[in-house]
Chain A
Amino acid sequence: MSYHADERGYYGEFGGAFIPEMLYPNCEELRQNYLKIMAEPSFQEEFHQLLKDYVGRPTPLYFAERLSKKYNTKIYLKREDLCHTGAHKVNNTIGQILMAKRLGKHRIIAETGAGQHGVATATVCALMGIECVVYMGEIDIARQAPNVARMKMLGAEVHPATSGSKTLKDATNEAIRDWINNPVDTHYIIGSVVGPHPYPDMVARFQSVISEEVKSQLLEKEGRENPDFVVACVGGGSNAAGAFYHFLDTPEVGIIAVEAAGKGIHSGESAATSALGKVGIIHGSKTLLMQTPDGQITEPYSISAGLDYPGVGPLHAHLYTSGRGEFISITDDEAMKAGLDLCKFEGIIPAIESSHALAIFKDRKFKENDVVVVNLSGRGDKDLQNYIDYFKL
């Protein structure tokens, strides 16, 4: 049994392409070409060259000695926070911009919530000299001003999404509508392992460089390729998909996905999709999503804008329902405290998204000899104001 997508883009019962006919040619063009293009040696060469020289890969696998002592286990941090632009998001945008070029596209659109994916997309568009339009909810534009400025400096046009709840899901709707209206010359760079097939699989493949590196780095440090556990936070699920990818079909490796509980799973202000979601369709994918009994998609909440998505990638829905993955949810308070702990113990200021993954150690105990790899998906620069407000710094 494999936990990867089948050729129709299904992970168990999840995935597929539930899209209006207007999007069929766009997705079909991508579906027919993505594996072929990714397999081309020239693509692989350019992709890996850019990851090395531009993004700064491989990112270190760092043994967090003081943190390990505190929790009496062996904690390694995969340092995606050291990527150019400050998070793992750029692995995917580099891959997709090369894909778009080979498909002959002249215009890029993207959605963004906190602005991390928007910045990563604007960055690669600047790198390639391609027009870039980023859709962002009106509310997010107001609360993520520095990233809006970054995107503008990088030459992107930031379009406010003013429909619905004016946040990430609505920005995604607007990007999809743009794609419907511009089916020929435009490529949509989706920011996570969500959306219609082939996006979840394609984005997971681009992010899989994370676990590929972990394997060889762990071999060097521990004399074995497989950790006992891999831990990652899940918004849409792309950093987690990349961190889990090469371990999915290795049952000895425990997979731990960490979701945002917000103010508590049952507080009504939460983004813990696996616990609160039901099977449905969001943005062209059949997956678990937070919705009303009537099937209207609801607005999630988390202190971390990057985890604030009402759905989860179909891979993760499958990991959850099949029991392959262990799902833990972490509240705002637990995450903020774990973030500050990492600063104090290791001198690293993490993104609040990543702090959720770090927060599991308080209650989830591991054996002394367990090797636990935590994917540190991003750095905390973008969250400074949040940290300042929260800790009254």
Chain B
Amino acid sequence: MNRIKQKLQEDKKILSIYFTAGYPSLNDTVKIIQDLEKSGVDLIEIGLPFSDPLADGPTIQASSTAALKNGMTTTLLFEQLKDIRKTVSIPLILMGYFNPVLQYGVEAFCKKCEEIGIDGLILPDLPLDVYLAEYETIFKKHGLINVFLITPQTSDARINAIDEASEGFIYMVSSASTTGAKEGFGPEQSAYFERIASMDLKNPQIVGFGISNAQTFQQATSKAKGAIIGSAFIKHLTQNGVDGIDAFVGQIR
């Protein structure tokens, strides 16, 4: 069974961490993954850096720019990850923008992911209709779960369509924003969390954007299955390098 699905069956709240591959240093990728697993994180999103990350705020943008400057490429990331399954068993997701995947070749990219032991993909700018029409069979053939996003502005009808097309979890963007733009949650988020919880979706939801500490993790997971931390972890890496990852994770839960 796909590692993501297996993890989601556990009776616990999921903590997922995002980091940008190639940041802070080009060859930190494997160590960051290993340390995150050791620290008790449940799921890891490995960011494939892109020159024009539309959905990201300044923190993740800067990490992408730095990673590209360091020399990160799709081919190099696959090279770094080729033996990753010898040392970790945590579910791994690649997150990035669609253009680098398109240039690598969608089929070749998915095949490589399968060989390495990647469990899923998050490609925010690959739209639902295009995925279903052109790529779903390829993703499935290589055992990859495709994760879709929803936001507070997403209509019920569209959420239901996304739920139908999903088979792992739904990435619930906490507010209408880019990554790292807002911190903390207000009444608007509570209402949104409530609304989604009451929809009785077949897929569990994991909340992302705006989660940075124990309090926001708690709030986000009061209704949802889990939460994702991105910008806050990137900031930690900026300040501390790859040291103290266990301490960072320890203060979340």
* A positions within 8 Å CB-CB of B: 16-22, 24-25, 163-164, 169-170, 173, 176-177, 180-184, 278-284, 291, 293-298
Tell me if B125 and A284 are in contact (CB < 8 A).
yes
Tell me if B124 and A297 are in contact (CB < 8 A).
no
One of B31-39, B79-87, B93-101, B226-234 contacting the partner: B93-101
- Chain B residues bordering chain A, tally (CB within 8 A): 42
Tell me if A280 and B65 are in contact (CB < 8 A).
no
One of B172-180, B195-203, B212-220, B238-246 contacting the partner: B172-180
Minimum CB–CB distance from B160 to chain A (whole Å) comes to: 14
What residue in chain A is nearest B98 (Cβ atoms)? A281
Tell me if B73 and A294 are in contact (CB < 8 A).
yes
Given A176-B54, A280-B102, also A19-B127 (CB < 8 A)? yes
Given A281-B99, A294-B73, also A177-B57 (CB < 8 A)? yes
* B positions within 8 Å CB-CB of A: 50-58, 61-62, 65, 68, 73-75, 97-104, 124-127, 130, 148-151, 153-155, 158, 173, 176-178, 181
Given A163-B58, A294-B74, also A280-B178 (CB < 8 A)? no
Q: Which residues of chain A have C-beta atoms less than 8 A from B148's C-beta?
A: 21
Q: Which residues of chain B have C-beta atoms less than 8 A from A17's C-beta?
A: 127
Q: Which residues of chain B have C-beta atoms less than 8 A from A21's C-beta?
A: 124, 148-151, 154, 173
Minimum CB–CB distance from B64 to chain A (whole Å) comes to: 9
Q: Which residues of chain B have C-beta atoms less than 8 A from A181's C-beta?
A: 176-178, 181
Tell me if B178 and A180 are in contact (CB < 8 A).
yes
Beyond the given A20-B124, A22-B153, please list 11 additional residue pairs across the A-B interface where CB-CB is below 8 A: A18-B98, A19-B125, A21-B124, A22-B178, A164-B65, A180-B178, A181-B177, A281-B97, A295-B99, A296-B51, A296-B100
Inter-chain CA distance A293–B54, complex, in Å, is 20
Inter-chain CA distance A16–B100, complex, in Å, is 18
Tell me if B52 and A169 are in contact (CB < 8 A).
yes
Q: Which residues of chain A have C-beta atoms less than 8 A from B103's C-beta?
A: 278, 280, 291, 293-295
26 A-B residue pairs with Cβ-Cβ distance under 8 Å, sorted by A, are A16-B127, A19-B54, A20-B54, A20-B124, A20-B125, A21-B124, A22-B55, A22-B176, A22-B177, A25-B151, A163-B58, A163-B61, A164-B61, A164-B65, A177-B54, A177-B57, A180-B55, A183-B153, A281-B99, A281-B125, A294-B73, A294-B103, A295-B101, A296-B50, A296-B100, A298-B51
Inter-chain CA distance A177–B61, complex, in Å, is 11
Inter-chain CA distance A164–B176, complex, in Å, is 23
Inter-chain CA distance A18–B128, complex, in Å, is 9
Given A163-B58, A164-B51, A181-B178, also A22-B149 (CB < 8 A)? yes
